[in-house]
Copies of this chain bind each other. A is one copy, B any other.
Amino acid sequence: MRPSGRDLSEMRAVSIETDVTKHAEGSCLIRMGDTHVLCTASVEERVPPFIKGSGLGWVTAEYGMLPRSTSSRMRREATSGKQGGRTVEIQRLIGRSLRAGVDRVAMGERQITVDCDVIQADGGTRCAAITGGWVALKLAVDKLIKAGDLTSDPLISPVAAVSCGIYAGQPVLDLDYPEDSEAGVDGNFILRGDGQLIEVQMSAEGSVFSRDQMSTLMDLAEQGVSALVTAQKAAVA
């Protein structure tokens, strides 16, 4: 029933290739089917003004799409003079989600910026960005630990995300673009590896949903994130 022929609860093939760029402290290329996102983590020994002197660390994120990551060419945000509303929403979500997996005291007063750039898009780019972003973050943290700049690991638990939605009346896991553009209801579920919830964003464009449906989607999300965390752990091992 799904355009891709997948089962309702079947995710796309996931691959996480690490250390894909030589400059970043941590990096990976995550592929969720045809959605490919390059994630890098950059460490700086300074923090934003609002936490200066607090002893706390900060994790933030930026998100972008290459102009031809999509089916028809998008305008480059640098030429339109600002980041669009969707971009801003997504990068705030990525940063907030990753911070939920970090002990900011243990991290010390430094900042890690996670850049997530979509090379090729086929639905679910923000979820892939969070999942891959955590891997880049972890690799950068491991480098700090190895160098003796950190004495304990500030990462509490992996952070991963997956989308679920109602497609053609059925609850489905990990929507690709053909599904995403048709689904009246869909959401993003960000969880930690220990099963705790970080963020739930269920949204209906031109539609509505019931609590029962929401519950079913939550079940799918827990199952999906569990598989993603396994892939993350393998990647950083």
Per the bound structure, the CA–CA distance linking A38 and B20 in Å amounts to 14
Q: Does A202 sit within 8 A of B, measured CB to CB? A: yes
- Asked if residues B100 and A206 are in contact (CB atoms below 8 Å), the reply is yes
- Asked if residues B218 and A197 are in contact (CB atoms below 8 Å), the reply is no
- In chain A between 11 and 47, which residues have their CB closer than 8 angstroms to a CB of chain B? 21-24, 27, 34, 38, 40, 42, 44
Interface of A is mostly: mixed
Interface size on A, residues (CB 8 A): 62
Q: Does A201 sit within 8 A of B, measured CB to CB? A: yes
Q: Chain A 211-228 against B: per-residue CB contact (8 Å), 1 yes, 0 no?
A: 100100010000000000
Per the bound structure, the CA–CA distance linking A188 and B22 in Å amounts to 25
- Asked if residues B34 and A22 are in contact (CB atoms below 8 Å), the reply is yes
How many copies of this chain are found per oligomer?
Answer: 6
Q: Does A83 sit within 8 A of B, measured CB to CB? A: yes
Residues from chain B with a CB closer than 8 A to the CB of A168 are none
- In chain A between 142 and 191, which residues have their CB closer than 8 angstroms to a CB of chain B? 187
Having A40-B66, A200-B200, A200-B201, one finds 9 other A-B pairs with CB under 8 Å, namely A23-B69, A76-B115, A78-B87, A81-B82, A100-B207, A100-B208, A197-B208, A197-B209, A198-B203
Sample of 28 A–B contacts (CB below 8 Å)? A21-B69, A23-B71, A23-B120, A38-B66, A40-B68, A62-B76, A62-B79, A64-B66, A64-B78, A66-B115, A67-B115, A68-B115, A73-B113, A77-B78, A78-B78, A81-B81, A81-B82, A88-B88, A100-B207, A100-B208, A192-B208, A196-B210, A197-B209, A198-B208, A200-B201, A200-B203, A200-B214, A201-B202
